[in-house]
Amino acid sequence: MKHLLKMRYALVLSLLFLSLPLFAQQNLREGYVITLQGDTLQGVIDYRTADINTKRCVFKQDGADEFKTYLPGEIEGYRFINNGIYYISKEVKVDDYNKELVFAEYVLHGSMNLYQVGSDEMVLENEDGKQAYFSLEKSRNATSNKELRTEMQNVLSILNKSKKATNIIWGQDKNRDNTKRAVKAYVEEACPDGYCEAYEYKSNNTPKEDRVIHPWAKLGNKYTQYKIWTDETFSGSAPQISAGADFHFNRLINGLMLNLGVTYESGKASKDYNTLFLGEPSVKLNGHKIYKLSLNQFDIMVGPGYQFKTGSLKTNIKIGGIYRLLSSNFNYSEAYYAYRGEKYDNSVTTKDYSIKFNTQYSFYAGMGIEYPLKNFSIIGDLQYTYSYNSSLMQVDDDKNTTRIKQNGICLSVGIKY
Per-residue model confidence as pLDDT tens digits over 65-115: 889 999 999 999 999 886 678 999 998 876 667 788 999 999 888 888 899
- pLDDT surpasses 70 at 290: yes
Side-chain-facing half-sphere of 97: CA atoms under 13 Å: 0
Of residues 230 and 239, more confidently modeled: 239
**Region 305-314: what's the mean pLDDT?**
79
Residue at 399: amino acid letter: K
- pLDDT surpasses 70 at 215: yes
CB 111 within 8 A of CB 191: yes
pLDDT at position 20 is: 44
**Region 216-239: what's the mean pLDDT?**
81
Of residues 188 and 277, more confidently modeled: 188
- pLDDT surpasses 90 at 252: no
- pLDDT surpasses 80 at 237: yes
Which of 83-92, 230-239, 332-341 shows the lowest per-residue confidence on average (mean pLDDT)? 332-341
Compute the distance between CA of residue 176 and CA of residue 196 in angstroms, rounded to an integer: 16
CB 263 within 8 A of CB 240: yes
**Region 47-74: what's the mean pLDDT?**
90
Domain 211-416 has CATH 2.40.160.20: yes
Of residues 105 and 189, more confidently modeled: 105
Sign, CA torsion 206/370/376/258: negative
CB 336 within 8 A of CB 347: yes
Which of 216-220, 363-367, 398-402 shows the lowest per-residue confidence on average (mean pLDDT)? 398-402
Q: Which residues contact 317 (CB under 8 A, 6 or more apart)?
A: 305, 306, 365, 366, 367
Torsion of CA 384, 389, 395, 398, to 10 degrees: -170
Which of 44-53, 92-101, 114-123, 233-242 shows the lowest per-residue confidence on average (mean pLDDT)? 92-101
Compute the distance between CA of residue 281 and CA of residue 242 in angstroms, rounded to an integer: 58
Of residues 77 and 201, more confidently modeled: 77
Which of 104-113, 124-133, 268-277 shows the lowest per-residue confidence on average (mean pLDDT)? 268-277
Between helices 163-171 and 176-190, what is the axis angle to 10°?
170
Give residue 303's pLDDT band: very low, low, confident or very high (50, 70, 90).
very high
CB 134 within 8 A of CB 122: yes
**Region 36-52: what's the mean pLDDT?**
88
- Among residues of the chain, what percentage have pLDDT more than 90? 25
Most confident of 213-227, 249-263, 342-356: 213-227
What are the sequence ranges of the domains in the chain? 26-205, 211-416
CB 321 within 8 A of CB 301: yes
Of residues 36 and 343, more confidently modeled: 36
CB atoms within 10 A of CB 320: 21
Q: How far is residue 40 from each of residues 32, 34, 77, 119, 322, measured CA to CA in Å?
A: 6, 5, 10, 27, 51
Task: Give the CA radius of gyration of the chain.
Answer: 32
β-strand pairing of 213-228 with 196-198 = unpaired
Mean pLDDT over the full length of the chain: 78
Per-residue H/E/C for the chain: CHHHHHHHHHHHHHHHHHHHHHHCECCEEEEEEECCCCCEEEEEEECCCHHHHHHCEEEEECCCCCCEEECECCECEEEECCCCCEEEEEEEECCCCCEEEEEEEEEEEECCEEEEECCCEEEEECCCCCEEEEEHHHHHCCCCHHHHHHHHHHHHHHCCCCHHHHHHHHHCCCCHHHHHHHHHHHHHHHCCCCCEEECCCCHHHCCHHHCCEEEEEEEEEEEEEEEECCCEEEEEEEEEEEEEEEEECCCCCECEEEEEEEEEEEEEEEEEEEEEEECCCCEEEEEEEEEEEEEEEEEEEEEEEEEEEECCEEEEEEEEEEEEEEEEEEEEEEEEEEEECCEEEEEEEEEEEEEEEEEEEEEEEEEEEEEECCCCEEEEEEEEEECCCCEEEECCCCCCEEEEEEEEEEEEEEEEC
Compute the distance between CA of residue 108 and CA of residue 176 in angstroms, rounded to an integer: 11
- pLDDT surpasses 90 at 411: yes
Of residues 17 and 402, more confidently modeled: 402
